[in-house]
Amino acid sequence: MVLVFPWVIYLMFRRSDTPFNQEEKTRVSATDAISISGKMNSEELLQNAVLQLSATDNLLELEKAICQALKLILPNCGDVFVYLYDSVHNKWSSSCHVSLINEGIIRRVMTSQTMLTLYHVPETDPLCKLLSAPVGRNTCLTVYPVTQGSQVIALFFGVSSGLCAQEENNLKFLGKQVQLCHKRWHIASQKSKHENRSAALILQLCAELHHQDASSLQVKIIQFLLDQTDAETGFLLLTGTDGTDLFCQVIGNRILKEEIRYVGECDTFMTLLENKETIFSHFMKQNQIQDVANFLEMSVTSLMCYPVVNGVSGNVVTLAVLVNKKHSDFFNEEDRCAVDNCFKYTGSLMASTVAFQNERRLKNQTEALLQVARNLFRHLDNLTHLLQKIMQEARNLTKAERCSVFLVEEDELVAKVFDGTQTSDKQSEIRMPKNQGIAGHVATTGEILNIKDAYSHPLFYRGVDETTGFRTRNILCFPIMDENEVIVGIAQLCNKIGGPGFSTFDEELAKAFSIYCCISIVHSLLYKKVIDAQQRSSLSNELMLHYMKVPPDEVKYLSSCKIRAPQTFDNQMDKFTFIPRGIPDQDTPLACLSMFEDQGFIQRWRIKQDTLARFILMVKKGYRDPPYHNWSHAFSVAHFCYLLNKNVHLNDYLNEIEVFALFVACMCHDIDHRGTNNSFQLASRSVLAALYSSEGSVLERHHIALTMCILNTEGCNIFENLSREEYQQVLDLIRDIILATDLANHLKIVSELRVMAMAGYNKEDTHCRSLLLSLLMTSCDLSDQTKNWENSKQIAKLIYKEFFSQGDAEKAIGKTPVEMMDRDKACIPDLQIDFMDHIALPVYEILADVFPVCTPVKDTVKRCRQLWQDKANQIKQNPVDSYQDMFEVEIDDQKN
């Protein structure tokens, strides 16, 4: 809005011989004007007067310039008096300091707005009081007004003998120049007044910007900009520490719950960061305007983006975005100046407040991470508990719904904990290829993956969501790396709570958090190794005290004796019907030596007899004496392996080193068995459980460890003449074969074994050979069930004696044993039938399908199963008092 400020200038002329009152009026010397006018013509005088007027920039200078101009263009006039109306302060002013009374002649001139010449001034007129002598005789009073539009902006009066036509024309021209000067002064005054008002508002704004919270400070700055530019709404985009990302904390007067970040996503904003120039909506592309409309979720009709540049670094620190000018179709340069003027004073304050907030957030983050470190380092003694704690802390720090951690083991990712809970007993861990899925991508690239929309990402697998009913919206997956940038694990967070996705701040937090995770995981694994070493040392001492060394005379005898043929022990030794438990215990090492020789292992693998003798005796010595899982059982298992090799010719189905490993594994598969199962080891928290519980198959891993220990004993390494590759291969095979004796592992692959038997065995298929080895090991381990009925009964007595002993031990520690372990509840025939139906018979049925020559073995198991059924039926008809009595019940074993 343009305001008109009227100026009123009174010009008084008087001849030099009639002076005015010197105390009330300012005199203008006519002598100077006459001397100048004598040297210049009329046109030059007028030009000089105009130049003097044009040089003025304030009210006082303008008054003086007008007086000088009148002296130049009216040299014959007497003293000149000038009055000006100060519209800013709403008062008349003059250097003569005499108040002007707007009555009489002055009123007539102000009303008519025309020049007035009077030859008589009434004594009652207020103007007469200003004159020192009355007007009359040869003098007249001339009053000349200068107007601007409908208002008088200049007026002069004085006494003279009259003005000629040229002088009147000069006055008219001077009046026009006064009009121009008035307009210029008016604009300058208006601008100055506006600037003063803006400065006052900015000072008031600065006085109110005392918040340490950057969001509250932004609310006030945005509101100020909206008032100054008449915008509907607006927001500020602050630049991140690296200057490549933008984040918004406030829109209008609303503080966002979660700041919104742009990382090179919005072309409009990123262009401003580079160009550092203000851009208006009428110079923007429609898609750029639509970006802002989508961000604000409103229609955008006009827009202005203003970059705030740091004067020291020259970088953009803030983008001020104003949207929808209320009473105009677009923002203009005046709006840009208003924003520029605001940030001249508030830019540095806001930048320092944001920096302070970032420092405070960093401090809080550091304190939180230190607390995380304290929490994590309290659980170094248990990796599972540590991983659970990592999950909990990760969710708390990033406000995520769920979290998973994968550890990197060679070419696999292993998960033991999901969402802070350990995996079920049936599935103690989950393994997946290192290069599979989102976690695999992070594991192979080492880069953080922040996925805003999980279902649109090509690496996301929806199957888990469809199975569990959980809906994954967004994912933040980050690597856990050590100081050498080796990835030891992967953490995956799902679903940001209260936000559309994980922010770059969450990414930064994850990077810092991963350092503590790595330190704790590495130290936990190291701690476990130390504890394992202590446990192994303790166990070794226990074994040394229990077993000591093999007597030298036994080693000497077995090393020097002639290796006997198997038929010298019994002419039926290579038949499936032969019962190896009939060989005296003292002759079993000789029999083992005989089976090694008869299968060609000694010659093929260049095994020294003294080394083999020492190995066999050490393995025999390694078995304890529980009722069933003793050396006699191990010898029987190894003998059945010998039978399979002799009758089936395993070299036609397996590699020769696989057959060799199978036989050795059968000998060692239950070494140092304690007469209790894996469940008891875990429940009693035994030394073995402490060593192997995290890996599963506690006893089997202990048998493997002792086998390796014997092989590493001086003079016992029967694999010493194998090549490096063969040596590593045979150790891996023994490990896998012994692990297959865990029935929990066997049950997992039964369906695959059936498929293999139906589809046909393929020796060239590595997986087929692995399945066959597991099948052969299980059939050897259960081979006591393949003998005659009397042997089956005796074996059952030994097994249940061992089971009931464990049940008694479980009761002693306050545990309730399962039925088969409870001597007071077990019905042995029923338990035997159940065992055969679900475990033994399926094994030998598959074995017979693969090797038809083993059909008699399957038939024997079926016959024993029927006899147990007969015994169960008889016991139901004639109940017994104890489990021992169950074995005394007579049945006719000839009718089947």
Label residues 136-147 b or e (16+ Cβ within 10 Å = b).
eeebbbbbbbbb
Rounded Cα distance between 848 and 539, Å, is: 41
Contacts 24+ apart (CB under 8 A), 373-376: 373/516, 373/519, 373/520, 376/516, 376/517, 376/520
Distance separating the N- and C-terminal Cα atoms of the chain: 118
Structure tokens at 302: 């006009």
Helix locations, 649-749, DSSP H: 656-668, 678-683, 687-692, 698-711, 724-739, 743-748
Instruction: Say whether 381 sits in a helix, a strand or coil.
Output: coil
Nearest to 300 by CA among 268, 338, 277, 340: 268
Give the contacts of 569 (CB within 8 A, at least 6 positions apart): 583, 587, 590, 591, 594
| Sign of the dihedral defined by the CA atoms of residues 179, 182, 187, 188, in that order | positive
Q: Does residue 471 contact residue 454 with C-beta atoms inside 8 Å?
A: no
Give the contacts of 179 (CB within 8 A, at least 6 positions apart): 146, 147, 148, 153
Per residue, what are the HEC states of 497-525? CCCCCCCHHHHHHHHHHHHHHHHHHHHHH
What's the angle, vertex CA 531, arms to CA 529 and CA 536, rounded to 5? Answer: 90
Instruction: Say whether 236 sits in a helix, a strand or coil.
Output: strand
Told to judge if 629 belongs to the known catalytic residues of this protein, a careful annotator would answer: yes
Give the contacts of 411 (CB within 8 A, at least 6 positions apart): 433, 434
Structure tokens at 858: 């399957």
Which runs of E-coded beta strand occur in 276-327? Answer: 279-280, 303-309, 316-325
Please classify residue 592 by burial: count the beta carbons closer than 10 Å to its beta carbon, then call 0-12 exposed, 13-18 middle and 19+ buried: buried
Helix locations, 750-854, DSSP H: 750-759, 766-781, 789-812, 828-835, 841-850
Give the strand pairing for 254-263 and 245-251: antiparallel
Which residue in the block uniquely carries the two structure tokens 């100054």? Answer: 228
Which runs of E-coded beta strand occur in 446-498? Answer: 449-451, 475-481, 487-496
Please classify residue 309 by burial: count the beta carbons closer than 10 Å to its beta carbon, then call 0-12 exposed, 13-18 middle and 19+ buried: middle
Catalytic residue among 629, 673, 702, 746: 629
Please classify residue 894 by burial: count the beta carbons closer than 10 Å to its beta carbon, then call 0-12 exposed, 13-18 middle and 19+ buried: exposed
Contacts 24+ apart (CB under 8 A), 456-461: 461/437
What Cα–Cα distance (Å) separates residue 173 from each residue in 4, 94, 133, 169? 21, 23, 30, 6
Query: Which amino acid is present at 847?
Result: L
Contacts 24+ apart (CB under 8 A), 872-875: 872/827, 872/829, 872/830, 872/833, 875/827, 875/829
Q: Does residue 407 contact residue 425 with C-beta atoms inside 8 Å?
A: no
Instruction: Say whether 82 sits in a helix, a strand or coil.
Output: coil
Please classify residue 541 by burial: count the beta carbons closer than 10 Å to its beta carbon, then call 0-12 exposed, 13-18 middle and 19+ buried: exposed
Q: Which residues are catalytic?
A: 629
